[in-house]
Chain A
């Protein structure tokens, strides 16, 4: 029993440190904290499910924007702008800070119809959402390990 408690404590500590590091490195902001408030025993996968929808939509929006930017002679900046707006809104709502910040630059490039700038931002937003997806998957894996070891997911105070 003592060994099991030690394992749980170690996992909880790893979880806490990892989550704090995601905030410190700018991957997440306070809105992710809001999301975590909604997770409890009744909805243990709430955060994972919401971010899964977000990542799904990221992928679709990025593909759509990529098609709009494909031909230099025929760029639909209105379509791209619409995609950026949507991505900015959803990233902001789930606390995906780096993705949101890229969207701000992306919008500026759209506004001045800078195709090269848009392409760079598109590449960056693709990188950032995939990076966040990997990081959050690691976080959720830690959560699962804690629960399987018989522990509770710790409340983490992010200052």
Chain B
């Protein structure tokens, strides 16, 4: 399946080169827009969750990347990779999401970090660690859509 997702990413790359980045929006209509080069890192130890979020991200026209735990996410940044958005689960082996968020902020990472929470009491801990937002699981396509819209507005 990851192969099929990767193929879909390649298709998007080809399509995004030939399409306008923004479309005119007729009054009263919602038009799905796609964004070039928006990179989203999904950090979650659960395979089915990762696949789902990556599907949402690709559907929104962005490029998904994944890490299985907080340490992998931090190492990606140490290796010089950057992302526009990080979706960070909390409870993961090796390094949890709150710890990874703190470490990324300590490294000077300014990417938008969204904590994915299972309990309400995780929200304040995530925000104190430096997350920009928290979302309660399960994540929906609309959640991803609105986040990417926000990134576009800020960009």
- Chain A residue with Cβ nearest B7: A42
B46 within 8 A of partner (CB): yes
Q: What CA separation (Å) do A93 and B118 show in the bound complex?
A: 11
- Chain A residue with Cβ nearest B92: A86
List CB contacts (< 8 Å) of A50-101 with chain B.
50-51, 53-54, 56-57, 82, 85-86, 88-90, 92-95
Q: A57-B48, A93-B46, A93-B49 are in contact. Are A49 and B137 (CB under 8 A)?
A: no
Q: A37-B141, A85-B91 are in contact. Are A53 and B118 (CB under 8 A)?
A: no
Please give, as numbers and ranges, the residues of chain A lying within 8 Å of B139 by CB-CB distance: 93
One digit per residue, 1 when the CB lies within 8 angstroms of any chain B CB and 0 when it does not, for chain A 12-56 equals: 000000000000000000010011011000110110011101101
Contact of A45 among B1, B45, B46, B141 (CB under 8 A): B1
Please give, as numbers and ranges, the residues of chain A lying within 8 Å of B52 by CB-CB distance: 34-35, 38, 50, 93-94
Q: Which residues of A contact B (CB under 8 A)?
A: 31, 34-35, 37-38, 42-43, 45-46, 49-51, 53-54, 56-57, 82, 85-86, 88-90, 92-95
Interchain Cβ contacts under 8 Å between A and B, 26 examples? A31-B138, A31-B140, A34-B140, A35-B52, A38-B56, A45-B4, A46-B1, A46-B4, A49-B1, A50-B1, A50-B52, A53-B48, A53-B51, A54-B48, A57-B47, A57-B48, A85-B118, A86-B46, A86-B91, A89-B89, A89-B91, A89-B118, A92-B138, A93-B138, A94-B48, A95-B138
User: What would 11 more interface pairs be, CB under 8 Å, given A34-B140, A37-B59, A49-B51?
Assistant: A34-B56, A42-B11, A50-B52, A53-B1, A53-B48, A53-B51, A86-B46, A90-B46, A93-B46, A93-B52, A93-B139
